[in-house]
Amino acid sequence: MDNVVDVVIDDDHWNMFDMEEMASRALDAVATKLDLVNGPYELSILACDDARIANLNTEFRGKYTPTNVLSWPAHELQPAVAGGKPDALPLADFGDPFVNIGDIAISFQTCQKEAEAAGIETKHHITHLLVHGILHLLGYDHETDADAEMMETLEIDLLDTMGIGNPYKNV
């Protein structure tokens, strides 16, 4: 059974991209790279604008500013030790064939501005942010140097398997 990605388009700018295909590809790449075996998985994405993501950022993080991507994991998987591997996803609940990994919101305007500033294709930057958000849902973060190094290395490797260059080379 294949993974399921539910996408809600909340800003018409997103219609120029096949977000369901992009997110499915990102989720499949992550699941393969991390050898996730408890799937199939379910992921929900809100493709929105800067105003909507700023409101979400305020509500959930206390920061009234737009951001590129936000994530809400369905499971607490953070490792006990900085730089450690996150816990494994649980099995699906009885009667549900999918393991829900969580929700992601992504802002078109911020993604486009960042891609233009970095001189990269917007589609590639969006894919990077989807991978980034999915890794957050799976317990990865960048709160410490060790965690950031692990997450960035995973992102670079994953994007390489998808034919996308290192997003951190110009940072």
Residue 34 forms part of a structural domain: yes
Distance CA 43, CA 49 (A): 19
Residue 169 forms part of a structural domain: no
pLDDT for 137 equals: 95
State how many domains the chain has. Answer: 1
Residue 167 forms part of a structural domain: no
For residues 103 and 8, the answer to whether their CB atoms sit within 8 Å is: no
Note the pLDDT tens digit of each residue in 24-76. Answer: 999 999 999 998 877 789 999 999 999 999 999 999 999 999 999 999 999 88
For residues 7 and 48, the answer to whether their CB atoms sit within 8 Å is: no
pLDDT for 170 equals: 63
Res. 171: pLDDT tops 60: no
Domain that holds residue 74: 4-161
Note the pLDDT tens digit of each residue in 124-133. Answer: 999 999 999 9
Residue 166 forms part of a structural domain: no
Q: Give the confidence band of 88 by pLDDT, cuts at 50, 70, 90.
A: confident
What is the CATH classification number for the domain harbouring 146?
Answer: 3.40.390.30
Residue 53 forms part of a structural domain: yes
